[in-house]
Amino acid sequence: MANENNGVVSDSAVIDSINRDMSLDNITVVTSRIRQKANGFSLNLTNSKLSDMLTMDQMLSLLPYVSSTDGSVSIYNQAASAIYIDGVKIVNREQLKMLRPELIERIEVDYFNNGSESAGNPGGIMRIWLKHREKGYLIGIGGETSAKTENGYDGYGFKSYQMGSTGRFTIYNAVMYDRGLSSEKYRTYTQSGSGMSVSDEKYMNNSNTFGDWLSITADAGHNRQVGITAGVSYLRNKGTLGADINETAEGQTADYGTVTWRPQTNLTLNGTAFYNWKINDRGSNLNVTADYLWYKRNREDNYNVIASAGLRPGYSQNADNYTKLLRVKSTWQNVQQNGNTLTTGLDYKLTDFSETEHVMSMRQSVTDHEPAIFASYSGAAGKLSYNANLRVQYNNLKVTANGLTDKRDYWSLCPSAVLRYELSRKHRHNVSLSYQRTVYGLPYDGISTYRVYDGANHYSMGNPYLDVPSRHMVDLRLSLFNQFDVRLSYTKEEKSTFYAEEADPDNPGSTRSVLRNSDGADTKMILVQWAKYPTKWLYFKVSGYAAWDTFRQPEYGYSNKFRWYLYATCTMWLKHNWIINIDGAYDPEKYFNGETYMNTVWNVGMTVAKSFMKKRLQVGLTVTPPYTPRVTKVTKNDLAYRREKLSHGAYIGLKLSYTISGGKLRQRKKAQSIQQYEEQKHDY
């Protein structure tokens, strides 16, 4: 896909507070509808064209202010803070990629965190509800293969999902396997002091990924439900970075080579148990969840120099990383007779993070206790709808590095609110005003001093002395005809973090990126989106933004630096079960932090798909032509750094899926949503 995102859902798996009494597949044709609320929308996908033969990334990218790339979802131009499938929060993007759009009954989107998630996650929340059968089964299998024609990449994958119900029990299981072989080429120029080097690099990677996700739910009677989920994910990477280097220092020139081996294995185990009680027919409910996550990562960097004398060992790292997470959350929701909703809850999370580097005998650990209380109230009064939220959170961190302990604790007070006014119900015009405060907290990887090499002579590392960053955001949004949206936002950052480029103090021929706090930053942004069905068989969405950034540091700074971005997607549903999807993005040149430059990049992709055998069999072909590679340049008083990606990224992929189902279909009463929506017909 052409659009870019930088966020991955990485928190624990918890149950959302929405009532889980799901409806079954509709056996009659219904009109799909989108329902607006103050802080988002709900979309019914039953018998919708959006569920026909599209991938999950393509379908999600058609939704208002939503985009998705390789399972990473952004809402309103920032990474989603949480994604739920049938009330269970996913722990990695592979769980989302296992889904097919035709399995989904409806999707609910909150534009930003309403306080139910951690204070450090400002992004929106997406809730996906699957179609359920009263009695019966559903089995789907799929496979894919792909290649990048220029650099020898090829890969293949297998996915399967199974769902069965006996009336009281429902079982859902999804399994996947991906294999990939890739190769990328880069050229890096570095000038530090009087020294200069040119490096031609080739990175090759061999990866294997396996995942399985199992969910079992049961109706316990008296409007109560219980359930458990379990998941496993395993990744094994074998990376090799080779480089030919020409280095000049003090009038002397040397030519040599380097080779870096980077094996890595990741193993994730997670489980969830939940209890849900539907208190009344209005939708009031009590929900209690407990979940546990265990994660292990082993990563190595073996850097060696190839000279006339042969192979000479250089820098070497071998680290084991363990993360253990326990989370308990209870949510009580009271839907009043007038439809207004009060939600309150308690949330406690314990995170234990440890990392041992064996070569240099370094050990770091972080223990974080995070209790919180949150509340939300939403409702409507005439043409005015509103949503007010508050989360109060306390973090107590104990950071230990090589026997030295540093205790960090801080409070987070995070209010947010939205006011939405209906200007014209007939023409579907509305305006909304929102405010949100976010306290980001301290990322565990961000305070680690482990060196992550991304080139022969360049690495990134965290900073254990970071201050806690926070953010204020004010947003004004105007929507016309339920098709055209304009959003004006102002964001003020306090102690924001950024990666500063500098020379390696231990090796003048190398450079590094170190995470640091800024003195302050703010962004003024205009976001525009136009989405429309010109005909019943054609849909397009065009979105983009223009932003003016200000950044302050003691060494440098800038004011109102301009950048912009444009993305478009178009889908055509043709006769005989054909579908064509085209998307593209244009990302002009830009500067970051006053010292980092990136060139203009544009790309486009097209998918042609067709279904057979009453849509049980689906085949899709995706093609991406060559596009301009990314070039990054860094310029400082004592450092000049330029990195060019030489691979143009041409891509071709083939996907195939087959679904069978059977059993008794019977319509069941649909649960009422916890939010008060205004129903609006739409052509989705």
For the cut 50, the answer to whether the pLDDT of residue 411 exceeds it is yes
**pTM score, whole prediction:** 0.81
Alpha-carbon span 19 to 120, nearest angstrom: 26
Q: Tokens 């339920």 belong to which residue?
A: 482
Three-class DSSP category at 315: strand
Left (φ > 0), alpha (ψ -120 to 50) or beta: where does 60 sit? Answer: alpha
**pLDDT class for 392, splitting at 50, 70, 90?**
very high
DSSP per position, 638-664: TEEEEEEE-----EEEEEEEEEEEES-
Is the confidence at residue 410, as pLDDT, over 60? yes
By residue count, the chain amounts to 684
Both tokens of 37, joined, read 């609320």
CB 19 within 8 A of CB 672: yes
- Left, alpha or beta for 250 (phi > 0: left; psi -120 to 50: alpha)? left
First and final C-alpha spacing in the chain: 21
- Give pLDDT, residue 674: 29
C-alpha angle 74-80-82 in degrees, rounded to nearest 5: 150
The more confidently predicted of residues 208 and 165 is 208
CB crowding 218-239: b at 16 or more within 10 Å, else e:
ebeeeeebebebbbebebebeb
Instruction: Give the pLDDT band (50/70/90) at residue 6.
Output: very low
Strands 285-307, 310-335: pairing kind:
antiparallel
Does pLDDT of 150 surpass 50?
yes
Give the type of residue at 459: Y
Q: Within its chain, how far is the Cα of 268 from the centroid?
A: 17
Q: What are phi and psi of 144, to 5 degrees?
A: -150, 150
CA angle 334, 335, 339 (to 5 degrees): 155
HSE toward the beta carbon, residue 487, CA cutoff 13 A: 23
| Joined tokens for residue 496 | 């924001």
Q: What pLDDT was estimated at residue 99? A: 82
What pLDDT score was predicted for residue 169? 87
Provide φ and ψ at 129, rounded to 5°. -115, 125
% residues pLDDT > 90 (the chain): 33
Rounded-to-integer distance, Cα 275 and Cα 14, Å: 11
CB 201 within 8 A of CB 187: yes
Find where tokens 């085949």 sit: 619
Judge contact between 51 and 104, C-beta under 8 A: yes
Mean pLDDT of 272-300: 91
d(CA 497, CA 499): 7
For the record, the structure tokens of 228 come out as 């458990």
Q: Count CB neighbours of 519 within 10 A.
A: 12
Which SS3 state, helix, strand or coil, does residue 305 take? strand
Return the residue matching tokens 């990218």.
61
Nearest to 195 by CA among 142, 238, 252, 151: 252
Whether the pLDDT of residue 593 is over 90: the answer is no
Which residues are CB-contacts of 465 (< 8 A; sequence separation ≥ 6)? Answer: none
In this prediction, residues 436-443 reach a mean pLDDT of 86
pLDDT class for 86, splitting at 50, 70, 90? confident
The two three-digit tokens of residue 613, written as one number: 């055998």
pLDDT of 594: 59
The residue type at 79: A
With cut-offs at 50, 70 and 90, classify the pLDDT of residue 267. very high
Beta carbons of 213 and 89 less than 8 angstroms apart: no
Rounded to whole angstroms, how far apart are CA atoms 446 and 637? 26
Asked if 134 and 21 count as a contact pair (C-beta separation under 8 A), the reply is: no
Could you tell me if 354 and 363 are in contact, meaning their C-beta atoms sit under 8 angstroms apart? yes
Q: Are 45 and 51 in contact (CB under 8 A)?
A: yes
Please, are residues 655 and 143 in contact by the beta-carbon 8 Å criterion? yes
pLDDT over 90 at 374, yes or no: yes
Question: Which helix (H) or strand (E) covers residue 93, if one does?
Answer: helix 93-97
Q: Poorest-confidence range of 336-345, 540-549, 596-605?
A: 596-605
Average pLDDT over residues 610-623: 89
Q: What is the mean pLDDT of residues 249-260?
A: 83
What phi and psi, each to the nearest 5 degrees, are found at residue 496?
Answer: -60, 155
The amino acid sitting at 68 is S
- 661 closest CA partner among 196, 163, 312, 147: 163
Residue 339: both structure tokens together: 């439809």
Tell me what pLDDT residue 347 has. 95
Q: Is the pLDDT of residue 570 over 90?
A: yes
Q: CA angle, 568 as apex, 112 and 529 as ends, to 5°?
A: 45
Q: Kindly report the number of other CB atoms within 10 A of residue 194's CB atom.
A: 10
